[in-house]
Structure 1
Amino acid sequence: MEAPRRYGLRWAWLACAWCLVLASGCARTDPEQALRATVAELHAAIEEHDPAAMQQHLAEDFIGNDGLDRDGARRLAAAIRLRYRDLAIDTGPLQVDIEETSAIVRFTAALRGGSGGLLPESARIYEVETGWRRDEGEWLLTSARWTPRL
């Protein structure tokens, strides 16, 4: 009778260990990791010329350069889509300053656009500062300010 009891105890420990592994996999991502993922999704939406996907990351009260609002940002993304068939954005490392429900993300961005030829028709480098707010677990872009670097 000792052997079945020992195996039962091993199975109980194994089951507990498995539950801990599963629970750790269900743990929430930390706020910075979630913010970085959202920034990456926004970056992809812009490069893929998807104004609707881009706009879902913008807060209702979004504000950009020269008073650009949420709808204006969507219109600007649509205009860029019409002008440049190929658009690429290279960003430098993200500098993330995070509070409980707000954050500032700074980075350098190099934008290249063209009609599909070998060389881009246009290229510019910007210093970018973005403001973010966490609302019901989701990060939303509340502000963006970009300054030409070159």
Structure 2
Amino acid sequence: MTNARYAPPSIPRIARRVLAAGRIGICVIALLAAVGCARTPPETALRNTIAALQQNLEARDTGAVHAVFDDDFVGPDGMDRRAARHLATALLLRHRQVGLTPGPLDVQLQGDDRARVRTTVAVTGGSGALLPERAGAYRIDSAWRRRGDDWTLLSLQWEAVGD
């Protein structure tokens, strides 16, 4: 028995549906590609790295702190990467609680892969009691290098404010 009311869709109607679905698919793929390819602007990525460094210092995460130092890092008096990592570890071991309150960041991009950042930071440290045992303010001058998608600390200078 055949159903007289049923008529298979015509080829042009099917073709229109396939083309419409194809256009929608192409738009979705293009949108996903645009979102996936979008890179964080260099200054935003650097500010995010500095914010993460602050959080890692306060959390006393030495591994994450060490990862920020560039292979070519140079600090005061010729301090190299290894010495900087040891100093950071010693400071974090010395104080059970570390607090950092940075002032505004003065970020000066030098192309897409280099930057200089200046700020003043209030630093506190202690045993975790209500009041910190040590506190000081420092002027920080740092140089950063972008390697791929990551910013690394290339150099760091600091001086106590008021000295």
Q: Which band: TM-score by shorter chain? A: 0.7 to 0.9
List gaps (5 residues or longer) in structure 2.
1-9
How far apart are residue 6 of structure 1 and its match?
4.4
Structure 2 match to 1:100: 112
User: Following superposition of structure 1 onto structure 2, how do residues 1-150 of structure 1 map, counting pairs within 5 Å?
Assistant: 1=10, 4-27=14-37, 28-98=39-109, 99-150=111-162
Identical pairs, percent: 39
- Equivalent position SS for 1:147: strand
- Mean CA deviation greater in 110-119 or 131-140: 131-140
For residues 6 and 109 of structure 1, the distance between their equivalents in structure 2, rounded to whole angstroms, comes to 64
- Mean CA deviation greater in 39-48 or 84-93: 39-48
Q: Deviation per CA, 1:38-88, whole angstroms, max 9, x where unpaired?
A: 222222222222222212111122112233221111111121122210101
For residues 57 and 75 of structure 1, the distance between their equivalents in structure 2, rounded to whole angstroms, comes to 13
TM-score by length of 1: 0.86
How far apart are residue 29 of structure 1 and its match?
2.2
8 Å contact kept, 1:49–1:77: no
The residue identity in structure 2 corresponding to 1:90 is T
How far apart are residue 108 of structure 1 and its match?
1.8
Higher Cα Rg, which structure: 2
TM-score by length of 2: 0.80
For residues 119 and 16 of structure 2, the distance between their equivalents in structure 1, rounded to whole angstroms, comes to 58
How far apart are residue 3 of structure 1 and its match?
5.1
- Mean CA deviation greater in 10-19 or 81-90: 10-19
List gaps (5 residues or longer) in structure 1.
none
- Mean CA deviation greater in 43-52 or 98-107: 43-52
Relative to 1, partners in 2 of residues 1:92 and 1:20: Cα closer, same or farther, differing over 3 Å? Answer: farther
8 Å contact kept, 1:52–1:74: no
